[in-house]
Structure 1
Amino acid sequence: MDSLRLRDVQARVDAYISQFEEGYFDPPTLVNRLCEELGELAREVSHRFGPKKKKPGEAEGEMELEIGDLLFVLVCLSNSQGYDMDDIFRRTMEKYETRDKDRWTRKRPAP
């Protein structure tokens, strides 16, 4: 199976958004949408794993789709600013792999 690069994801989102006259929302609107989507994910996580369960008859949400909505808005924000998400991800992982390399207890190799 071919691996999908974040650059490919960005191009697909851009192709979708480019078909509309309005184009990308401005950054403050995108951040507001990001907060809304995060709230929807938080609600789903709370219902699945927290003490507040859904009401009887209330539809079960899909955590995967809520995560996907967050990813879509992040890609929109990155695209609107001309950022390369492959580069962002590479730089972010380098930061974590350096800064936090000794922060957590490593698993021991299997015998």
Structure 2
Amino acid sequence: MEKDKSMNQLQTEVDQYISQFKEGYFSPLAMVARLSEELGELAREVNHYHGEKPKKSSEEESTIEEELGDLLFVVICLANSLDISLEDAHNRVMHKFNTRDKDRWTRIEGGDEDGSN
């Protein structure tokens, strides 16, 4: 499995996968519904491993990592279908956090201004 893929590479890889099917991307509304479904599955796994609700012996084995991967795939599909660069979106949100919210949280002593150590 290839490591250290850029967000652009992830978006391209997903697009190449989806492009091989006549159906293509689902509608944005259908993908938001799918995101909600996948988020529920992630919440269930987090609750099993870190919450008060242990997994039933009859339930399929799944991991938080798998569920995060499913969420990421659907987010990439949604972004691709709307021609949105997730790298650009990420850069904008990090700029927002580093400017608007720069004094919102208590910094760790010795940390850089940009939030890194």
Tell me the TM-score normalized by structure 2.
0.86
Q: Which runs of 5+ in 2 are unaligned?
A: 112-117
Cα separation, 2, equivalents of 1:2 and 1:8: 11
Instruction: Return the offset for 1:106.
Output: 0.9
State the match for 1:103 in structure 2. 104
Go from structure 1 to structure 2 and tell me whether the alpha carbon gap of 1:70 and 1:2 turns closer, same or farther (over 3 Å shift).
Answer: closer
Counterpart check, 1:8 vs 2:9: yes
Report SS of the residue matched to 1:12: helix
Counting matched residue pairs gives 110
Identify the residue that residue 69 of structure 1 maps to in structure 2: 70
The equivalent residue for 1:83 is 84
AA at the equivalent of 2:90: F
Q: Which has the higher contact order (CA 8 A, sep 6+)?
A: 1
Offset of residue 53 of structure 1: 1.1
1:18 matched to which residue of 2?
19
| More helix by percentage | 1
What corresponds to 2:28 in structure 1? Answer: 27
Per-residue deviation, 1:57: 5.2
**Larger deviation, residues 84-93 vs 12-21:** 84-93
Answering whether residue 38 of structure 2 is matched by residue 37 of structure 1, we say yes
The amino acid of 2:38's aligned partner reads E
Give me the whole-angstrom Cα distance separating, in 1, the residues matched to 2:19 and 2:60. Answer: 33
Structure 1's unaligned 5+ residue stretches are: none
Cα distance in 2 for partners of 1:2, 1:56 equals 34
Offset of 1:99 from its aligned partner?
A: 1.8
Bigger shift: 82-91 or 1-10? 1-10
The whole-number CA distance in structure 1 between the counterparts of 2:3 and 2:38 is 29
Q: Give 1:9 shift.
A: 0.4
